Amino acid sequence: MTLSPQALELDINARLEFMGALSNAARAITLPLFQSPEGIVNKAEKTGVTGEAYDPVTKADIEAEIALRKMITAQFPQDSIEGEECPDYVGENDFSWTLDPIDGTRAFVAGVPVWSTLIALSYKGQPVLGLIDVAALDKCYFGRTDAANKSAWCIHKGEAVSLKTSPCDDLRDAILGCTEPLSMLKPGELAAYNIIRRGVKFSRLGLDALGYALIAEGRMNIVIEALLKPCDVRALMPVIEGAGGKMTNWYGGSPVDGGRVVAVSDAALLPELYTYLQRAMDPR
């Protein structure tokens, strides 16, 4: 059923207010376990992947996702839920939540405070609300991109600050990020990435979702990654685009289903980036 603009805005407002409660509930579980990690399992071993693969999941991942799902089904029982660790729940309306209780589990295990909780709300398959909660730094980034409102903001130490990306139309002035290019990029993709890396001002690695939040904050200009899952990207999209940036796949399409992703502070950077990224010949 298609909602009227007024009804849709009210429904999104209610879920936006609820996002804060979800974030607080996740923090109550994840922050204590960040100090003393428990129950670390390599999912790659369970799936039979051998070699150098390491795909960790922790007690915090599982317990936080279960808690968030219980809260959502109690408050909005007709909404669908997708997550990183638990089976999908198919609801009865056009709203869908996407959860990643700990994005950056390797950082979490290593004690690096750049991991985050990602929560997205989609309407008819399009993310309209996004939350990136970098709990260990006490920085919670929100984004909204429905028809009634396009904005982004960060809450830090109880203060809310509006977010706006920085203008940058020349690759030579850009700051580039990628979590781990050697592990997430195939040889052809890595070659394309390195062409771009050599042309920017400088690059930073190992930031996970924080890199995207820093684009929204106006500190960075480009993030290029691959091998992302839907739960890795959907929360990022409203934050980036609500702040004035742009996020696509490497061919200019929607990144909503993950895969190869590029996020920029200024859409003027995209044509040149696509020229290099589309030279990657590795199949996906």
**Which pLDDT belongs to residue 279?**
86
Rounded to an integer, the average pLDDT of 122-133 is 98
Residues in CB range of 76: below 8 A, 6 or more apart: 15, 18, 95
Comparing 86-90, 213-217, 230-234, 249-253, which segment has the lowest mean pLDDT?
Answer: 86-90
Judged against a pLDDT cut of 50, whether residue 42 lies above it is answered with: yes
Q: How high is the mean pLDDT of the chain?
A: 92
Query: Which percentage of the chain shows pLDDT scores above 70?
Result: 91
Torsion angle (degrees, nearest 10) of CA 177, 183, 189, 194? 50
Judged against a pLDDT cut of 60, whether residue 46 lies above it is answered with: no
CATH code of the region 5-162: 3.30.540.10
pLDDT tens, position by position, 9-27: 999 999 999 999 999 999 9
The confidence band for 40, taking pLDDT boundaries of 50, 70 and 90, is low
pLDDT tens, position by position, 143-199: 999 988 899 999 999 999 999 999 999 999 999 999 999 999 999 999 999 999 999
**Fold match flag (5-162 vs 171-277):** no
Rounded to an integer, the average pLDDT of 205-215 is 97
**Which pLDDT belongs to residue 1?**
67
**Which pLDDT belongs to residue 252?**
96
Judged against a pLDDT cut of 80, whether residue 281 lies above it is answered with: no
The confidence band for 60, taking pLDDT boundaries of 50, 70 and 90, is confident
Architecture of domain 171-277: 3-Layer(aba) Sandwich (3.40)
For the chain, give every domain's residue range.
5-162, 171-277
Neighbours of 222 (CB within 10 A): 26
**Which pLDDT belongs to residue 54?**
59
Residues annotated in a binding site: 84, 100, 102-103, 232
Judged against a pLDDT cut of 60, whether residue 62 lies above it is answered with: yes
Judged against a pLDDT cut of 60, whether residue 257 lies above it is answered with: yes
pLDDT tens, position by position, 74-93: 999 999 999 988 899 999 99
Rounded to an integer, the average pLDDT of 204-213 is 97
d(CA 41, CA 237): 29
Residues annotated in a binding site for Mg(2+): 84, 100, 102-103, 232
**Which pLDDT belongs to residue 118?**
98
**Which pLDDT belongs to residue 49?**
47
